[in-house]
Amino acid sequence: MATRSRKQATRGGSRTAVPAWIWLGVGVLLGLAVALVFLGSDWAPMLRKNAGPQPNPEAVAPRESDPPIVEAKDKPRKNYDFYSVLPEMEVVIPDAEISAKARAEAQLPASTTAPPVSATSRYLLQAGSYPSAKAADEVKAKLAILGFIAQVTPVTINGKTWNRVRLGPYASASELEVAKAALSDNGFNAIALKEEINR
């Protein structure tokens, strides 16, 4: 009985296994064949060299006497950026100008008090401008926690209401520069403004 099971085992085990490299080679050949069929058919138009836009051989250039296809618009193109949104009565002051004015104020004699900007203007800092009043109030509260006193001023520009978070007014460029640096240290990129006061 033991001899019979050995014969069956050798008879079943006499088949030789196909090496793995042959299976790998067959898989690569099948993959190449499928790729060639795919590229040769209409299934892959984007992979062909001439699949892009083709010139129209019947196209002709328009004559100068022909009317234009697209009418030119007389209106100049508007470029909107943050600074153009501010009203015309406000002027954004660059950091270099603030520093220069603060240095000039520091060089004045100690007996002389720093002159105010003028009787018709004042310095302000704008910490942000938000369409949502809630967002502006949240920024005002964050500033209050840091020790800054801010006001929220709603302004309507082109039919849309913006809520500006502002600090100030500051009497001198030195005060403005110190406040701007303190805001910057706390993560607020404020904009320095010189506002004209209408009297």
pLDDT greater than 80 at residue 14: no
Please report, for residues 11, 112, 193, the alpha-carbon distance to residue 56 in angstroms, rounded to integers and kept in the order given.
Answer: 73, 80, 57
pLDDT greater than 60 at residue 199: no
Does the domain at residues 85-108+115-196 carry the CATH identifier 3.30.70.1070? yes
Angle at 75 between CA 69 and CA 77, to 5 degrees: 95
Question: What pTM was estimated for this model as a whole?
Answer: 0.50
Tell me which residue of 92, 108, 100, 118 sits closest to 173, measured CA to CA: 100
Please report, for residues 7, 17, 34, 145, the alpha-carbon distance to residue 11 in angstroms, rounded to integers and kept in the order given.
Answer: 6, 14, 39, 88
pLDDT greater than 50 at residue 85: no
Tens digit of each residue's pLDDT (9 = 90 or more) over 92-147 = 778 888 888 878 877 876 555 545 555 667 889 999 999 999 999 999 999 999 99
